[in-house]
Amino acid sequence: MPDPGDRGFDPRAFRDALGCFATGVTVVTTLDSQGWPIGVTANSYNSVSLDPPLVLWSLARSSGAMPAFLQSASFAIHVLSEAQEALALRFAARGSDKFLGLEYRMDGNGTPLLDDCAARFACETAHRYEGGDHMIFVGRVLDFTRGDHKPLLFHHGRFARIHHLVA
């Protein structure tokens, strides 16, 4: 894998520049091959298409959750609300049972669903693409919900909240 420094710029400076773009915060869930719920925090979510309804997100190749998402035919993307910062941190942690003591339910595809999110998208895996040190997952949206919660944001390496400038 080429180092961004090979192109004449500092990798840390590149990461800091990327952090200028405010993103939403999501938790993406699926089941592993043993039927255990798996989830990760991701801010790499984006809409792709309205017709057909497609969304995408990406996962670091180094993630311990990678095998589960590679073998799974479905996943759910939960756009976290500003009240779910603790949930974002929980699913960002490595190596623990992130679902232990957490309330969740399963959808018709057996995908773990979390409640009280700003929005949630239940997807079937449509495509996987190589993306450098990440794998890009494109999902066909099978179902979605939208709450009345403001979204949790991520900007310059930390959580943020939305503040509308005009009414």
For 86-124, write each residue's pLDDT tens digit.
999 999 998 778 999 999 999 998 899 999 999 999 999
- Sequence-ordered list of residues with C-beta below 8 angstroms from that of 138, at least 6 positions apart, any chain: 48, 54, 55, 56, 125, 126, 127, 128, 129
Confidence of residue 7 (pLDDT cuts 50, 70, 90): low
The residue ranges of every structural domain in the chain are 25-156
For 30-77, write each residue's pLDDT tens digit.
999 999 999 999 999 999 999 999 999 999 999 999 999 999 999 999
Task: Find out whether 149 and 82 touch, Cβ atoms under 8 Å.
Answer: yes
Give the predicted TM-score (pTM) of the model. 0.90
Reply yes or no on domain 25-156 having CATH 2.30.110.10: yes
Model confidence at 6: pLDDT above 70:
no
Adjacency order of strands within the sheet including 54-60: 37-42, 26-31, 74-79, 119-131, 134-146, 54-60, 46-49
